[in-house]
Structure 1
Amino acid sequence: MENNRNIVVIGGGPGGYVAAIRAAQLGGRVTLIEKEKLGGTCLNVGCIPTKVLLHTIEIYNQLKEAAGIGLKVDKFEVDWPALMRRKEGVVNRLVGGVKGLLLSNGVKVVHGTASFVGTKEVEVSLSGGGKENIAADEFIIAAGSVPFVPPIQGVEQPGVATSTEALSFDSVPESMVIIGGGVIGVEFAGIYSSLGCKVTVVEMMPQIIPNMDEELAGMLRNVLAKKGVKFYTGARVTSIGKRASGLEVTFTHNGQEISDTAEKVLVSVGRKPYTEGLNLEKIGVETDRGRIVVDDRMKTNIENIYAIGDCTGKAMLAHVASYQGVVAAENIAGHNSLMDYKTVPGCIYTQPEMAGVGLTEKQAMEKGYDVKVGRFPLVANGKSLIMGDVEGMVKVVADKKYNEVLGVHILGPRATDLIVEGALALRLEATIDEIITTIHAHPTVGEAILESALAVDKIAIHMPKQR
């Protein structure tokens, strides 16, 4: 269905550029306004550059174990400046790809900062100087987010970094305290500890990665601890002070005050929606504690204005923003597309990787389900053994009454790729029987999903008889 509408998208991140392309596919005349580089946080200073570093670290760690897989490797080291150059090269190539996709779909890109002057017009302060007013029938706000920096005494001094700065250190620090044991903090702990940095993680919640499966999060913590990462959970940072030996982080843990001194401090306690300068209050767009309030069609309280991505304060993930962008564009074109967060996979690119979708065992029980759980350790998986990467497990959570899959959680190699099967199972409201009767290729790590589904009913083939 062609809509022939003038549509302005504010923000060129993974939500904004996808929304712009989908709106153009549906016949819209689309202008995208971006104040910095196309691709947003994810592509430039988030998902992509982080994974470039993690990929190199993965190979580096494999080389450390080369003798175990029949390789003789005499000498190897990480060339930090070369790694930084590769990171920038990958980012620039993908930014160029986004630019090409927008061009091929007829999307006009304007570089500047947008501010609403009415519900159907924005004023753009152009990056090259000057101003331009752009009118549109509909707007999609995709303004993104910024790192949240808590009000800790001393947090603004030199040496205290957010994830953005941590991607571009001049050299590998000798030591680091990471405030926050969520996805970002744990990934950086894996990167820098592998490079010889002494890493301490201080997390306020009782477990690291609080939104993920408790059992697997505990297993990941143990793996990282074996690699030298020190963890304090249930701890609250009170101050950061400058000392001759570095930055002293003081925190309370189990009723005691503890201090740890490090060369660098990374603050990774999450992100907050960014709407600064949009002038939303002038046009009456409803916000709640900084986030733009939207319905499941991604529409705000203003009929012709939609919002997507991190600025809505929903699940702050690039793949969520992209899907929200599709939903918004399709609804502008007259469709009835709805956003469903129940099947959103969460991924952590540590070694081993961790991923989950749907309800954890604890969440399912709290919601009142009569739960049954299947577990399959990767030490019993042929492909994992071949790869020399057997740390981890696949865990399937199901409802006893209807045998429906409620959640899939994976710790192990390629977990972030394998989780898509779990997401599809939840999207289709699949039962355990439907996973079991799907033939899984051999030898693959994915067979562990089949085995864990079998284990739900205690009939896993490649495990000792379960009782």
Structure 2
Amino acid sequence: MAEKVIIMGGGPGGYVAAIRLNNMGFETTLIEKNRIGGVCLNIGCIPTKALYKSAEVYNQFSKLESYGLDLEGTVKPNASKIRERKNDIVDTLVTGIEKLLSSAGVEVIYGEAKITGPNSLEVNGEMMEFDRLIIATGSSSFIPPIKGVDQEGVITSTELLDFTEIPEELVIVGGGVIGMEFAGIFASFATKVTVLEALPGILPGVDGEIVKRLKPLLKKKSIDVKTSMMVKEIVQENGKLKVISEGAKGPVEVYGDQVLIATGRKANVKGIGLEEAGITVGRKGIEVDENFETNIKGIYAIGDVNGKWLLAHAASAQGEFVAEKIAGEHPVIGKFVPGCVFLFPEIASVGYTEEQLKEENIEYLTSKFMFGANGKALTMGEGEGLIKVISDLDYKIIGVHIMGPHASDLIHEGLIACEKGLVADDFKDLIHAHPTLPEAFFESVMGLKGEAVHMVKPRRK
């Protein structure tokens, strides 16, 4: 008789684990309290990228003259049509995953599950037993204890994604990935955007040089970024929301039609019975070992709920890993997890940043190639940005950081280099097509040893 495996949560970690397990012969049940696809598909990655594309196309129209094109009349964003397009994309993908689960033979139960013991849980008033359990309950928006944060017009990304009109003024509390992506989207639609970040800089974890080069581009797009700002209170004033912050030079007041709270996410660990099962929870989420197993044998936690990487692709990788582990295989999971920020231009990173290397006292080399010297980028009208490659002293690539066109696609050549321990010479005989954007990565890698043909050599001192 096949082992019974239950998965709590139908997001990118849960549904991938369910399909993989069922394909390997396990009796698999997936429990989802809302909608298959989780945060990423329904109220995260996919809908924001749908809005991003609408903003990107709108941006292109503002630059038609630079392409030698004339347009009679005006182009303006239509909030309801943008939202409808976003919803259609989400619905298509959700339906597709539902069909995948059905074709794989996974039993799907809609309801809220609560663990009742090391081998049982309750859902919709019924008790269910399991041999193995995978907790994949994800995360939700973290709302800081700011005075006035609960009033109308103060929203999270979930509400903003369902916008019915484009705000004239938007204040964003939090300069991480979520906050900055929404800043870029709505600034493109001519919204006046102000970002308030408590830390000294935005996009923590992104290579410092990339962030430094991004700042003037944000300013050019009229995104006002204020760092080292502690938000104290939000109040209604003359039909607007006034956000009162404390900065290095004293109080700062900014106004908006809406205030987006984008101060990070927290693991969904409340009310799911972790205490009853004796599962250990840490500061970031459920504590797991190198196999993503909790302190209770046979119970695993994957994705955002374990707090390791709050990324959909990391959750999916963990889901496959755990499924194969349960099946008695010897899976391997990547050490390097790429991250992308969908701004204008895009940012993507994998591996070490310079800041991390300095903190760990690791010696390194860097090489940079500017998109302004790449033929394909210039034909696209997107010559801003660069590809930065970091290696150790033996030229082994340990970090790649990109700001520029299609950075989210280009980063995967860097991922392979980091994950497989490739050195600069491994790329020397790889002929990159011309004219393409990946040529910029090739030139940056060749620059590590001073062998890049299209890079101006620094003057000797």
Q: With structure 2 as the length reference, what TM-score do the two structures score?
A: 0.97
Structure-1 residue corresponding to 2:373: 380
Task: Give CA deviations for 1:226-253 in whole Å, capped at 9, x if unaligned.
Answer: 0100011122111111111411111122
CA-CA distance at 1:100 after TM superposition: 0.6
Query: In the alignment, is residue 432 of structure 1 matched against residue 431 of structure 2?
Result: no
Secondary structure of the structure 1 residue equivalent to 2:379? helix
Query: In the alignment, is residue 358 of structure 1 matched against residue 351 of structure 2?
Result: yes
Structure-1 residue corresponding to 2:387: 394
- Structure 1's 153 and 436: CA in aligned 2 closer, same or farther, altered over 3 A? farther
Structure-1 residue corresponding to 2:156: 162
Structure-1 residue corresponding to 2:93: 94
Aligned-partner Cα distance in 2 for 1:317–1:466: 39
CA-CA distance at 1:162 after TM superposition: 0.5
Query: In the alignment, is residue 182 of structure 1 matched against residue 182 of structure 2?
Result: no
Query: In the alignment, is residue 277 of structure 1 matched against residue 271 of structure 2?
Result: yes
Secondary structure of the structure 1 residue equivalent to 2:111? strand
Query: In the alignment, is residue 209 of structure 1 matched against residue 203 of structure 2?
Result: yes
> Do the aligned residues in 2 keep the contact of 1:309 with 1:320 (CA within 8 Å)?
yes
Counterpart of 1:45 (choices 43, 46, 65) is: 43
Structure-2 residue corresponding to 1:403: 395
CA-CA distance at 1:79 after TM superposition: 1.6
Aligned-partner Cα distance in 1 for 2:395–2:271: 50
Structure-2 residue corresponding to 1:30: 28
Task: Give CA deviations for 1:349-407 in whole Å, capped at 9, x if unaligned.
Answer: 1110000000011212222221110001100001100100111000001111x211110
Aligned-partner Cα distance in 1 for 2:144–2:341: 23
> Do the aligned residues in 2 keep the contact of 1:440 with 1:447 (CA within 8 Å)?
yes
Structure-1 residue corresponding to 2:113: 114
Instruction: List 4+ stretches of structure 1 deviating above 4 A.
Output: none
> Do the aligned residues in 1 keep the contact of 2:79 with 2:163 (CA within 8 Å)?
no
Structure-2 residue corresponding to 1:11: 9
> Do the aligned residues in 2 keep the contact of 1:23 with 1:330 (CA within 8 Å)?
yes
Give the AA of the match of 2:94.
V
Give the AA of the match of 2:361.
G
Task: Give CA deviations for 1:190-210 in whole Å, capped at 9, x if unaligned.
Answer: 011111111001111121101
Task: Give CA deviations for 1:402-438 in whole Å, capped at 9, x if unaligned.
Answer: 2111100000010001111111111101112213332
Structure-2 residue corresponding to 1:421: 413
> Do the aligned residues in 1 keep the contact of 2:229 with 2:246 (CA within 8 Å)?
yes
Secondary structure of the structure 2 residue equivalent to 1:291? coil
Counterpart of 2:19 (choices 18, 21, 32) is: 21
> Do the aligned residues in 2 keep the contact of 1:178 with 1:268 (CA within 8 Å)?
yes
Aligned residues: 458
Aligned-partner Cα distance in 2 for 1:327–1:456: 35
Secondary structure of the structure 2 residue equivalent to 1:452? helix
Give me the identity figure in percent: 44
Secondary structure of the structure 2 residue equivalent to 1:292? coil
Which piece of structure 1 moves more, 107-116 or 242-251? 242-251
Structure-1 residue corresponding to 2:81: 82
CA-CA distance at 1:290 after TM superposition: 6.0
For 1:331-370, what aligned pairs fall within 5 Å after superposition?
A: 331-340=325-334, 342-370=335-363
CA-CA distance at 1:96 after TM superposition: 0.3
> Do the aligned residues in 2 keep the contact of 1:354 with 1:416 (CA within 8 Å)?
yes
Structure-2 residue corresponding to 1:442: 434
Provide structure 1 residue ranges, at least 5 long, that are not aligned to the other structure.
126-130
Structure-1 residue corresponding to 2:187: 193
Structure-2 residue corresponding to 1:145: 139
Give the AA of the match of 2:213.
M
Aligned-partner Cα distance in 2 for 1:298–1:259: 45
Secondary structure of the structure 2 residue equivalent to 1:158? coil
Aligned-partner Cα distance in 2 for 1:218–1:73: 35
Task: Give CA deviations for 1:96-124 in whole Å, capped at 9, x if unaligned.
Answer: 01101111111010000111122111110
Aligned-partner Cα distance in 2 for 1:80–1:458: 50
Aligned-partner Cα distance in 2 for 1:150–1:338: 37
Aligned-partner Cα distance in 1 for 2:416–2:431: 15
Provide structure 2 residue ranges, at least 5 long, that are not aligned to the other structure.
none
> Do the aligned residues in 1 keep the contact of 2:83 with 2:163 (CA within 8 Å)?
no
Task: Give CA deviations for 1:308-345 in whole Å, capped at 9, x if unaligned.
Answer: 011101110000000010111111111233544x4100
Q: With structure 1 as the length reference, what TM-score do the two structures score?
A: 0.96
Aligned-partner Cα distance in 2 for 1:461–1:291: 48
Query: In the alignment, is residue 412 of structure 1 matched against residue 404 of structure 2?
Result: yes
Q: Please report the RMSD computed on the Cα atoms of aligned residues, expressed in angstroms.
A: 1.2
Aligned-partner Cα distance in 2 for 1:337–1:267: 39
